[in-house]
Structures are given as structure tokens and as C-alpha cells.
Structure 1
Amino acid sequence: MFYFFFESRGNQTDPVVIWLTGGPGCGSELALFYENGPFHITSNLSLSLNDFGWDKVSNIIFVDQPTGTGFSYSSDDRDIRSDEEGVSNDLYSFLQAFFKEHPQFVKNDFFITGESYAGHYIPALASRIHQANQKNEGIHINMKGFAIGNGLTNPAIQYKAYPDYALNAKLIQQADYDMLQQKVSFCEQATKPCGNQSNAKDSCDKAYNVCGEIFNDILAIAGDINYYDIRKQCEGLMCYDFSNVETFLNQDPVKKALGVGDIEYVSCSTTVYQAMSADWMRNLADGIPSLLDLGIKVLVYAGEYDLICNWLGNWRWVDELVWSGQKQYAAAKNGSFMVDGKDFGLQKGFGPLSFLKVYNAGHLVPMDQPKPSLEMISRWTKGLPL
């Protein structure tokens, strides 16, 4: 597994944070160079310092995962993962090797972060780490919490929210909304046999196809919008032009410096994406309540203009979590997320659970709102209120 590790610009005792990019199959370098890493790639393919990189408040790891993503590779096709058990086991093994190589960071607070499909990866890894810690397996990882940004975590709830979000955002009309309700009903029925079971591949594949029609219909009605940021138009395969990262990382001097040999860097792997298709509709929120009840901190945040993993669907699955603080969380008042005297979001929370809707941001919150996102992660990892 290939990774970048950047020690904190502040203090070595700052938390260790691992960042997981979604896809599934997209390299962590997208976040590193366009979002919250210490550097941005300039138009002439040089590097410039990011004043709002999360390495200002943490020791941060960007890892290419699952295997087959970015510069992470295997010569054995059996290492291409198709479910969260395989993904989380590999990530746990990676972290064991990391802390063995960097023992000076073992006692630091540890947080898991990421976005998009990492809404699956993150809860799975958190549960895997907790199980290992309970069994005294390997090096103890001092996990304090995890943060999911614009994630896909509970698809049954989130797919149902698509028409509501689209109608509120004026992407569709009431007649379109009414038409989509039948497909929402079909989606609800299709997701039940899938659930969070790893042996329900056929059911999960069916749910993926049935529920996907809701999203595809909205796009057909809305036209050529960027479904990661509805304020913009979609440009290219990923709706953004991230070509500089591939050009930069595929330069021979860069590859030599990174020690990656002849591997061609591709931003997002279709092989990994297709291998994980049966995992897509599984509910990864199921494992979160037990972690909350143990005091593991959970932050779910979402940019308001993202359609594909929109804030409304995330708000709803968080609200429906059945845990010891559910009633108190539901009763908590909404507050403002203030940075330098300006309101950058709506937040609510109780105990270890927090939710943040980030204003003027799409799917990639650290790219769209770099300073507020740095302030968010700084306050949250330090135990300060948002």
C-alpha cells in the first residue's frame, strides 16, 4: 500500500489523522493536492504551500486504498477487494506496519477521516480497530473518533432523500418528484435483502441498479449539472478537471523520487470501482451506535451544494441512529458554525455525535471552504465545540 505521511507543522504530539478518499478506487492524491494536503499543484506543475492543509494541526496520512487504487498495487488479483471486511483488514494491517515504522506516534490521539465512499470505509475501519484493541491484537491504536465528509453510509435512507433534495434545490419540479416516488418505493424494497450482509451479493447488485435509477433520472431532468456541486456544470469524466495530478505524478523524476517504479498513476481505478459494486448499497451505519456508546467521537459533515452525497440524506441517517443519546441529539438545538465572526454552517450535536452542514461548499468541502474546514478539524480533534 502506497501512502504519503506529513508530520504536523505544529507539534509532533498533534493527533495522527488518516485520510481515506472515496470512489471507490480514487487515489488519496486528489485530496492531498486539491483539498487538505500541505501542497497544491500549480498550472506549471510545480508545488505551492497550502495555507490550510490539515497538517497544520495534525500528523496526516494519505493512503491509496483499496489495493489497486493510485500507486497501491498487487500482482495477485485476489488482493482486489469486494467488501468492507477485506478493505478494513488491509487498512488495519497497514496501520500496524505504519506504527511499527513510526513508534513515536503510537500514543498520539488517532482519528479516521475521509469523504464520499469513505462513508463505507471509515465506520468499517473504526470497528476493526476497536475489535483489535479489545482483543489486545497488535499495536494498540489510540482511536478517539472518526469524521465522514459528504459520505455514502446508509444508502437506503440517502437514496430516498434524493428527490427531496432535488426538489428543494429546484433541480426537478413537483411532477418529477411525484413520478420518482414509485422508484423510491422500489429502492426501499430492494435494499432490505442487502442490508449490511457480506454474503448478499445478488441482492446488493439488484439494489444498486434499482436505486441508481432515482439518481440517474434526476440527472436526466436537471441536465448537465455537476452532481458534486450543483452550482456548476459537469466537465469531463469526474465533473472536475483533475488532470494535473495525473500529469504531475506520472513524470519520471516524480516517480523516481516516490519509489513507485513504472506504475502508471490513474486518479480513479475502474477495476476497484467495479469490484466494490456489491458493497455499494450496504448499510455501514449499523456499527456506529456501539462506538458512540463507548465515547468514540463521530463527526458527519456535508457541503450544502453536493447532490450525490447530499447533506439532507446525511442529516437523516445521523438523526435515525439508535444509540443511548438519540433522544438528546434529536432535541439539541441547531447552532451556527462561526469562523472569524462569519457563519459558515449549521451544526448540532450531543455527546460524541456532531453534524455540520457547510455553507457554500459542494462534495469537496476542504477544497471549497479551506479555512473553515481546517478550523472544523482543529476544533473537533481538540474536543472543542464546533
Structure 2
Amino acid sequence: MECRSKIVTFSSLLLLLTLQSHFTVPTNSKTIVTSLPGYPGELPFKLETGYVGIGEKEEAQFFYYFVESERNPEEDPLIFYLTGGPGCSAVITFFYQIGPFSFNFDNAPENITMTLNPNSWTKMANVIFVDMPAGAGFSYATTKEASISSDSIVVKQAHDFLRKFLIDHPKFLKNPLYISGISYMGLVTPIVTLELYNANERGDQPALNIQGYILCSPLTDKFMDFNSRVEFAHRMALISDDIYKSAITNCRGNYVNAETENLLCTESLNRYKECTSGINMEDILEPLCNKSDVKPYCREYYYDFAAIWANDEAVQQALDIRKGTIGTWQFFNTTMHYVEGKNDTFCYSYDIHSSYSFHKKLVSKNCRALIFSGDHDMTFPYVGIEEWIGSLNLAVASPWEPFYVNSQVGGYEMTYTQDDYSLTFATVKGAGHSVAQYKPKEAMVLTEKWLASKNYASSM
């Protein structure tokens, strides 16, 4: 989940057959990009794009954008960022959330220009943005087998990608490493993080300086997170006390897997759905709309900028995209993208239902976690996050308190610890699902402060 679009193409299978027949898989490649269409002059930061091949014959080719820190690339942390969906392109993260650019939305989509993002995480960290799995963004597969993916496959491929990337970029091996993910990647990110710790303990080489993980509005447990929407709706006054009490009593706290023969529960949930069906789940304060009607304001309209920009031949040439490897660039791959209750598709299996047990295993590591959520996000509400964090039974190191941005309350945070493990949980005031998109300054300040609070000791 996380990105929203309605673009669907049906040329993928034909393209795959073409790749199988005619395309020779090259070795890993990388390009230093010094200019991009839509931005005047040379880029004021170092941008590298390229492909990393994964698999015995590198059948899965993953496209990435790597931006070195604009502050101190030799010392600043390295963040490996996994975009949600699954199947969303990293372009959403690069342009709409934490990347160095923003589109200038004052122009029409046909006249795209870009501005620098003053709240880019690249001002404090080296960041790898990757199109993953194959079939997302500019990433592709050269065989039918490699085009089929799953949550578990993404875990392995993310680990393999990062290891190959750092072998090819050895000067970043000693930088403090954090795995970061948003939305659906909350199921994947903790597992990748744990795998890196375990690899170091096994003595796998090269050792990676893993320090922890960062999650934004994560999906952690499909039952817990979806179930928490009812309580969230009550806290936000979307349903009345009467409806909420009725749901608690009649459904006994189980709203996701309610028994169909329980008519009283069904009636309670129907009342809940009637009250919330017209609500924008990603931000309950924004109107629920579609791109065909941009009045009232519709955030999805601005996603068209990415599609027009990324499909521009001059842009693809500047990024050094391999010709003929994808058809029309898509904001996200609709056959992979998850919504509640969706079954496996022909190309993707949603085989991880909860990452909670992996969070619990990480408690035994020398590990740090930052988990933050928009307090107006109903997709995966902060209520569910509070519930599973509470189940970890950690000690409170610092109580619930506000954090400030420009002398104003930006949100609230608290920190838990156990031995060498620490977890900071924060809510960002007024933010929706993709926090950095709704409240970019607050997301940056929160993350920068958290990163700076660590005196790094090598985990290698």
C-alpha cells in the first residue's frame, strides 16, 4: 500500500517474452547523473543511478537512485529505503517524500520543472532508493520465473541487493547502516534488518555496519493493524460512543474476522462502515476524491507529474535507463499492489502476514528502531502500532512528550529500551499516511534528531 494510481498496462507478458528472446543481461552498471530534464543547470548533489542484478544469472535487474549525503558522505549514515505497495516505484519516495527534489506543482503536468527539497533526508544521510520487486518502476526481469515475486522473495532480494551494492561501493561499508521502509514494507523491513544482524553473527563477508531500522506508518500485523481502524475511528470522532460500544460488545474486539452468523456484530460493523466509507483513509482530513474531479483538492492529481516525467525519453536517457526493458513506466504495478483482503496474484504472493515476531527477535540485538506515524492516518493507524509495541514489554526510557519544530509542537514521542535495544515511537501532528509527504519538515527533524542521538559503535 502507500501509493495510489489507476494506471494499468497489459503489455508486461509480451515485453517479458521479448526480453527472454533478445536481451542479454549485462553486469551491474552505474552512471553519475549530473543534470536532469526539468532542473536548470548541474545537480547540486551527487546522484548515481544504476542496476544491480540478483539471481544465479542475474535474472532480476533492480534499478536504483543513490544520493550521497549533502553534508558529510564519509561519516553520515547510509539509509536503504524500501518503498511500499508492494510494487510502487521509488520515484514516489524520491520526489514526493524524502528525496532531494520536488515537482513544481504550480505548472501544468505538461510543463514539468523541479525544485530542491529543503527537507530531503539526503541533507543528513546517504540514501539508496530502489525499485523493488522486479516489475516496479524501472526494474525488470528477464525470465518468467524472475518476474514472480513475494514478500519472502523481496526480503532475500533486498538483502542480496544491499550486499552487492556495498561490495561495489566499499567506501560506505563503515557508515552506520539503517534499513528503512514505509507502509507495506513494514512487513519486510524488520526481517531484512534481522537477516543483516544474523549474517554478521555468522561471519558473512563483507560485514555490514547495521545499526537499526526506521519505519513510517508500517503494516506490521494484518489482523492487528486493520482491526485497529475501529478504535481509531472512535478516537477521531468518526463513529459515536454508541457505535463503538456496540462493536466492542457484539464483535468481542474482532472486527476483521467477524463471524457472518453474528448478526449483531454485522449490524455494528455496517454502522461503522456507513460512517467511514466517505473518509480518505490516507488522511482523514483530506477529501475523498478522484483525479477526474480535482475540485475539491485531490492529491492524486499530482502523481500524474511523475508518470509524465518518468516516461519522457530525455529523462530516461539522463537516468541511463536500458532501452526496451520496460514498457510504459507505471507509478505502481497494479498486479502487485496490496489492499486489505487481496489474494495472491499470478505474479506476487503476500506470504508474510505479520512481522511482529521479528521485531521481538531484534530486541535481543544491539539495535535501534524509529517508528513514526501520522496521527490522521487510518490506513495503518497509530493505535495498532501502539498495541504491538506494548506487546514487546519494553521498559519506558523516556515518557510520552512533545517534540518541537520551529517552536511549535510537531508531534509526540516516547522511547523504550531493553538491554542494548531501543525503540522510539512517534506520532506526527496533522500528518497522513506518508508522513514526509504531508509534514516534510517534521519528518526530517524527527529523523535527524533520532540519528544524531546515537554514539555509534561498530556492529561488525
TM-score (norm 1): 0.85
Give the direction of change, closer, same or farther, for the CA distance of 1:303–1:81 in structure 2 (3 Å limit): farther
CA distance in 2, matches of 1:303, 1:277: 28
Question: What residue is the counterpart of 1:202 in the other structure?
Answer: none
Question: What residue is the counterpart of 1:234 in the other structure?
Answer: 288
Contact 1:303 1:360 survives alignment (8 Å): yes
Task: State the SS of the aligned residue for 1:233.
Answer: coil
Q: CA deviation at 1:356?
A: 0.2
2:77 to 5, 12, 15: 15
Question: What residue is the counterpart of 1:143 in the other structure?
Answer: 210
Give the direction of change, closer, same or farther, for the CA distance of 1:179–1:118 in structure 2 (3 Å limit): same
Contact 1:302 1:356 survives alignment (8 Å): yes
Deviations 1:24-76 (A, max 9, x none): 21111111101110001123312210011000000001111122111111032
CA distance in 2, matches of 1:186, 1:165: 13
Bigger helix fraction: 1
Task: State the SS of the aligned residue for 2:357.
Answer: coil
Query: How is 1:164-175 mapped onto 2 (pairs within 5 angstroms)?
Result: 164-175=231-242
Query: How is 1:1-386 mapped onto 2 (pairs within 5 angstroms)?
Result: 1-12=62-73, 13-42=75-104, 43=107, 44-80=111-147, 82-178=149-245, 180-181=247-248, 185=254, 187=256, 218=272, 220-236=274-290, 240-241=300-301, 242-260=303-321, 261-262=323-324, 263=326, 264-273=328-337, 274-275=344-345, 276=348, 278-279=350-351, 282-322=353-393, 326=394, 328-329=395-396, 332-351=398-417, 352-383=422-453
CA distance in 2, matches of 1:215, 1:51: 44
Q: CA deviation at 1:279?
A: 2.9
CA distance in 2, matches of 1:76, 1:218: 46
Letter in 2 for 1:248: W
CA distance in 2, matches of 1:128, 1:180: 40
Contact 2:89 2:136 survives alignment (8 Å): yes
CA distance in 2, matches of 1:187, 1:98: 40
Q: CA deviation at 1:295?
A: 2.1
Q: CA deviation at 1:357?
A: 0.8
CA distance in 2, matches of 1:218, 1:2: 43
Question: What residue is the counterpart of 1:207 in the other structure?
Answer: none
Q: Provide the alpha-carbon RMSD of the alignment.
A: 2.6
Letter in 1 for 2:316: K
Give the direction of change, closer, same or farther, for the CA distance of 1:236–1:11 in structure 2 (3 Å limit): same
Question: What residue is the counterpart of 2:262 in the other structure?
Answer: none
Give the direction of change, closer, same or farther, for the CA distance of 1:45–1:120 in structure 2 (3 Å limit): same
Contact 2:151 2:350 survives alignment (8 Å): no
Contact 1:8 1:59 survives alignment (8 Å): yes
Contact 1:82 1:279 survives alignment (8 Å): no
Give the direction of change, closer, same or farther, for the CA distance of 1:106–1:64 in structure 2 (3 Å limit): same
Give the direction of change, closer, same or farther, for the CA distance of 1:189–1:232 in structure 2 (3 Å limit): closer
Contact 1:80 1:272 survives alignment (8 Å): no
Letter in 1 for 2:191: A
TM-score (norm 2): 0.72
CA distance in 2, matches of 1:315, 1:25: 27
Contact 2:76 2:175 survives alignment (8 Å): yes
Deviations 1:3-34 (A, max 9, x none): 10000100012110111111121111111101
Q: CA deviation at 1:232?
A: 0.7
Question: What residue is the counterpart of 1:197 in the other structure?
Answer: none
Structure 1 residue runs of 5 or longer lacking an equivalent are: 191-213
Task: State the SS of the aligned residue for 1:353.
Answer: strand
Q: CA deviation at 1:384?
A: 5.5
Give the direction of change, closer, same or farther, for the CA distance of 1:378–1:5 in structure 2 (3 Å limit): same
CA distance in 2, matches of 1:224, 1:77: 40
Letter in 2 for 1:366: A
CA distance in 1, matches of 2:311, 2:162: 27
CA distance in 1, matches of 2:428, 2:228: 18
CA distance in 2, matches of 1:69, 1:132: 27
Task: State the SS of the aligned residue for 2:188.
Answer: helix
Contact 1:234 1:240 survives alignment (8 Å): no
Q: CA deviation at 1:259?
A: 2.3
Moved more, 133-142 or 168-177: 168-177
Question: What residue is the counterpart of 2:54 in the other structure?
Answer: none
CA distance in 2, matches of 1:230, 1:359: 13
Give the direction of change, closer, same or farther, for the CA distance of 1:124–1:367 in structure 2 (3 Å limit): same
When the two structures are aligned, how many residues end up with a matched partner?
A: 357
Question: What residue is the counterpart of 1:209 in the other structure?
Answer: none
Task: State the SS of the aligned residue for 2:335.
Answer: helix
Q: CA deviation at 1:380?
A: 1.4
Letter in 2 for 1:342: Q
Radius of gyration: which is bigger?
2
CA distance in 1, matches of 2:95, 2:334: 21
Contact 1:84 1:124 survives alignment (8 Å): no
Deviations 1:218-274 (A, max 9, x none): 555324322100001123389623111111100011111222224221111122235
Moved more, 102-111 or 253-262: 253-262
Give the direction of change, closer, same or farther, for the CA distance of 1:78–1:186 in structure 2 (3 Å limit): farther
Contact 2:200 2:207 survives alignment (8 Å): yes
Contact 2:247 2:269 survives alignment (8 Å): no
